[in-house]
Amino acid sequence: MNDKKQPWYILNSPELGTVFQTTETVFQQNSILEDKTNALIRLALAALLH
């Protein structure tokens, strides 16, 4: 994949960023939580699954 098309979090930390991106696709569904809350949950899950 071209570096320009990769999100910043994959460029900075490829291993953790890949897991974060995987969880992001799951969380893109409608949620009652705010966007920032979803981002924090995704980050925590990515760190645990890494």
10-27 residue pLDDT tens: 898 888 888 888 877 777
Q: What is the pLDDT of residue 30?
A: 67
Please write the tens of the pLDDT for every residue from 26-50: 777 667 888 888 888 888 888 887 7
Number of domains in the chain: 1
SS (H, E, C) the chain: CCHHHCCHHHHHCHHHHHHHHHHHHHHCCCCCCCHHHHHHHHHHHHHHHC
- The pair of three-digit structure tokens given for residue 36, joined into one six-digit string: 């920032």
Q: What is the pLDDT of residue 8?
A: 86
Q: How far apart are CA 33 and CA 9, in angstroms?
A: 22
Q: Which domain holds residue 44?
A: 3-49
pTM of the model: 0.52
